[in-house]
């Protein structure tokens, strides 16, 4: 078989996702990071694992549950995934118990267990329990008329083994206690009980200390916390529902009770209780996770928020206004002169809000159209769109109701906008609208002038301070006209005309990227210099991976800057080191998508809302737009690509065996792209 046609053995996507979380977990051990920030990264891994199990685990668990021996791929892959996940969780708790807890205690920040509380602290905790906790606890003793209660996704519970008999002389010896979600999971002890320290108690330890008082006349023989993770990917047949919004609202209720995929218990949980829980939730033994400490470390994010001490947190930096923006001058005037790039979070997302505010207040603006995917809790953009309607402007919002885990927030946005008369559409049946676009139509002279904003990231002011993204304000006639056509296509589903500059999934983004890779391949075969630099969150589309490998074998130098999952094997036959993969894991979440191709001296660059995943290319509405201005292209190439390829502090390299290793550094010569950009933009 010829080299160019050699079979490619793709890396396991799920293992790659878990490997990404290993890299995030490494930040919890980074001695140069403040302690509470290290704790945050530990919590982020827990949240990421929750989502991983909620979305990715169900098919594998089904294979194990049904004992599908003939289905080797699912069974084998689940065993591999399970082993990697168990190892990751064990390391998490080891870091928390052996590294972070002692280090925080040395800084007078401590989570105080029942056994370590003073008599006065115990009295305070007992009063708190009686006043705030006990009234919300309703233990359920299991018997034929009290079957095992419904256990919601990720809710915390206690299972209790009781001795003696109940009030009716019966031997029902198992009880379930649900921990109320309405109560905070961490409570800070008052200053008179903690002195100069910052002392906290967990809600679970409060309940544990007073568990026996819930079962008067019975003996608590054994107990354990437990938490069940359930499959939570909403499945709605859009072809078969009359109202998607109503169907999703119903689905949100059902999501909490999907099939179980993981069971977490305390490490000391009695074997019989653990077995009973596995049977109850119909889970294989590999789905059981015994943990040394709090069940659900993600809740410790409250500790990072509540604890005080500037030395325990990152020194804040204030995003600057884009260097291309002229203060106190109309955006419409400026955009007639040049496009404006905003490199978040180093440059402020507030400029986007100010652009929208100017459009709302300008009497010559007739129409505003915007896509809404993940907006967060900041209501300013919603209120501006509502105000635009009140001022008589035409407002159309394309609200993606199926944005995973943001469905309820987006439904609320849709209803709030409709309540004032905005036109709200939900995109195209079978496709998620993931494109990030804002289009303003303004009356100028005898016609209309269009102004647009396109972005690699969401319209979310909070994450705009934590995620790296690049967005662009533009009055480019072709780009804004393409945006108008795309908005019209999404709303009315008329045929999309031939676009001039935008690439759009699921129509031509995939084929155009394949064509660009192919062009680089042919150039290399013809003896020309050819290189490709791609920066994105994930690379899992098999056709694009095959094309990259083929181009690498032809001599194209390819650098991939991938934050998360990657299925491309860099040891594929014939590559000879021409494809290099690195992952940047640092203080900020890398989120920008940059596609750069260079053949001899000819450069092409696109920014995009899409990763190179099959779902983005085939099952979503995505956009990529070209950067034609040479200065802007050079700036993005430097700040999003070249600086990251030089990074030797936050960078990890993909090895031939599919594992990642931190880049070796020379002492006192470390270079962090993120830190350099923070310093550059903060002056």
Residues tagged active-site? 434
Length of the chain: 683
Closest alpha carbon to 605 in 629, 578, 572 = 629
**Residue 428 region by backbone torsions, left for phi larger than 0, else alpha for psi between -120 and 50, else beta:** beta
Residues 10, 652: Cα–Cα separation, whole Å: 20
Strand 589-590 relative to strand 594-599, pairing: unpaired
Expressed in angstroms, the distance from the first to the final Cα of the chain is: 57
Residues 281, 359: Cα–Cα separation, whole Å: 54
DSSP string across 354-376: HHHHHHHH-TTEEEEEEEES---
Q: Residue 537 to residues 134, 466, 552: CA-CA distances in angstroms?
A: 45, 15, 21
Tokens, residue 393: 């402007």
Neighbour-count burial of 517, counting CB atoms closer than 10 A to its CB (0-12 exposed, 13-18 middle, 19+ buried)? buried
Radius of gyration of the chain (CA): 27
Residues 611, 450: Cα–Cα separation, whole Å: 28
Residues 502, 482: Cα–Cα separation, whole Å: 6
CB atoms within 10 A of CB 21: 22
Output 605-609 pairs: Cβ under 8 A, ≥24 positions apart: 605/633, 605/636, 605/637, 606/503, 607/454, 607/456, 607/470, 607/472, 607/636, 608/456, 608/503, 608/509, 608/536, 609/434, 609/435, 609/436, 609/455, 609/456
Closest alpha carbon to 536 in 557, 506, 566 = 566
SS3 33: coil
Q: Residue 621 to residues 253, 564, 608: CA-CA distances in angstroms?
A: 27, 21, 11
Residues 83, 614: Cα–Cα separation, whole Å: 27
CB atoms within 10 A of CB 106: 10
Residues 6 or more apart whose Cβ sits within 8 Å of residue 396: 367, 368, 369, 370, 422, 423, 424, 425, 487, 491
Torsions phi, psi of 283, nearest 5?
-115, 145
Torsions phi, psi of 288, nearest 5?
-90, 130
CB atoms within 10 A of CB 434: 23
Neighbour-count burial of 375, counting CB atoms closer than 10 A to its CB (0-12 exposed, 13-18 middle, 19+ buried)? buried
DSSP string across 466-514: TEEEEEEEE--HHHHHHHHHHHHHHHH-PPPPPPSS-EEETTTHHHHHH
**Residue 231 region by backbone torsions, left for phi larger than 0, else alpha for psi between -120 and 50, else beta:** beta
Beta bridge partners of 157: 178, 226
Residues 6 or more apart whose Cβ sits within 8 Å of residue 282: 65, 259, 260
Residues 6 or more apart whose Cβ sits within 8 Å of residue 57: 81, 229, 231, 261, 262
Q: Answer for the pair 427, 398: CB distance below 8 angstroms, yes or no.
A: yes
Tokens, residue 462: 């909070």
**Segments of 7-104 assigned E as strands:** none
């Amino acid at each position: 078989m010829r080299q160019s046609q050699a079979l490619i053995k793709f890396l396991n996507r799920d293992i790659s996702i878990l490997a990404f979380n290993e890299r995030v977990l490494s930040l919890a051990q980074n001695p140069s990071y403040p302690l509470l920030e290290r704790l945050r990264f530990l919590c982020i891994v827990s949240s990421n694992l929750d989502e991983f199990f909620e979305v990715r685990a169900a098919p594998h668990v089904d294979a194990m549950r049904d004992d599908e021996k003939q289905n080797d791929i699912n069974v084998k892959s689940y065993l591999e995934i399970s082993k990697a996940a168990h190892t990751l969780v064990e390391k998490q708790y080891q870091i928390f118990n052996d590294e972070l807890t002692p280090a925080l205690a040395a800084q007078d920040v401590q989570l105080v267990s029942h056994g370590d509380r003073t008599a006065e602290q115990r009295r305070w905790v007992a009063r708190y329990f009686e006043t705030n906790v006990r009234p919300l606890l309703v233990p359920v003793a299991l018997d034929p008329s009290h079957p095992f209660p419904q256990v919601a996704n990720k809710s915390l519970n206690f299972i209790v083994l009781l001795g003696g008999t109940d009030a009716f002389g019966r031997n029902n010896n198992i009880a379930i206690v649900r921990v109320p979600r309405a109560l905070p999971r961490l409570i800070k002890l008052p200053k008179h009980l903690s002195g100069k320290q910052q002392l906290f108690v967990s809600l679970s330890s409060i309940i544990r200390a007073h568990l026996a008082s819930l079962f008067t006349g019975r003996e608590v023989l054994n107990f354990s916390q437990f938490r069940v993770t359930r499959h939570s990917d909403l499945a709605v047949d859009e072809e078969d529902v009359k109202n998607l919004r109503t169907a999703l609202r119903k689905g949100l209720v059902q999501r909490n009770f999907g099939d179980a995929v993981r069971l977490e218990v305390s490490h000391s949980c009695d074997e019989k209780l653990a077995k009973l829980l596995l049977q109850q939730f119909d889970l294989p033994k590999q789905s059981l996770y015994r943990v040394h400490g709090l069940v659900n470390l993600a809740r410790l994010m409250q500790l990072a928020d509540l604890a005080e001490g500037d030395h325990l947190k990152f020194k804040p930096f204030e995003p600057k206004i884009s260097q291309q923006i002229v203060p106190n001058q109309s955006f419409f005037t400026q955009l007639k002169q040049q496009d404006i790039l905003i490199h978040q979070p180093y440059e402020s997302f507030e400029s986007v809000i100010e652009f929208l505010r100017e459009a709302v207040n300008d009497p010559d603006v007739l129409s505003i159209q915007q896509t809404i995917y993940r907006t967060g809790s900041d209501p300013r953009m919603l209120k501006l769109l509502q105000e635009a309607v009140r001022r008589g402007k035409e407002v159309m919002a394309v609200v993606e109701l199926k944005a995973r885990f943001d469905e309820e927030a987006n439904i609320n946005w849709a209803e709030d906008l409709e309540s004032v008369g905005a036109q709200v559409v939900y995109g195209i049946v079978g496709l998620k609208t993931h494109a990030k676009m804002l289009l303003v139509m303004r009356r100028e002279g005898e016609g209309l002038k269009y102004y647009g904003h396109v972005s690699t990231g969401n319209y979310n002011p909070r994450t705009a301070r934590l995620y790296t993204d690049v967005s662009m304000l533009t009055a480019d006639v072709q780009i804004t006209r393409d945006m108008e056509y795309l908005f019209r296509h999404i709303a009315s589903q008329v045929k999309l005309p031939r676009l001039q500059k935008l690439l759009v999934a699921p129509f031509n983004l995939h084929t155009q990227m394949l064509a660009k890779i192919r062009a680089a391949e042919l150039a290399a075969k013809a003896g020309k210099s050819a290189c490709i630099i791609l920066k994105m969150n994930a690379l899992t589309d098999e056709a694009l991976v095959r094309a990259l490998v083929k181009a690498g074998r032809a001599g194209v130098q390819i650098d991939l800057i991938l934050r998360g999952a990657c299925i491309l094997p860099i040891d594929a036959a014939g590559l000879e080191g021409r494809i290099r993969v690195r992952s940047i894991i640092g203080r900020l979440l890398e989120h920008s998508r940059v596609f750069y191709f260079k053949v001899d001296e000819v450069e092409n660059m696109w920014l995009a809302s899409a990763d190179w995943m099959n779902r983005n290319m085939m099952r979503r509405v995505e956009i990529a737009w070209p950067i034609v201005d040479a200065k802007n292209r050079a700036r993005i190439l430097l700040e999003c690509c070249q600086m990251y390829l030089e990074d030797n502090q936050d960078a990890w390299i993909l090895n031939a065996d599919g594992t990642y290793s931190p880049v070796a550094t020379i002492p006192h010569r470390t270079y962090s792209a993120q830190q350099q950009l923070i310093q550059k933009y903060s002056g």
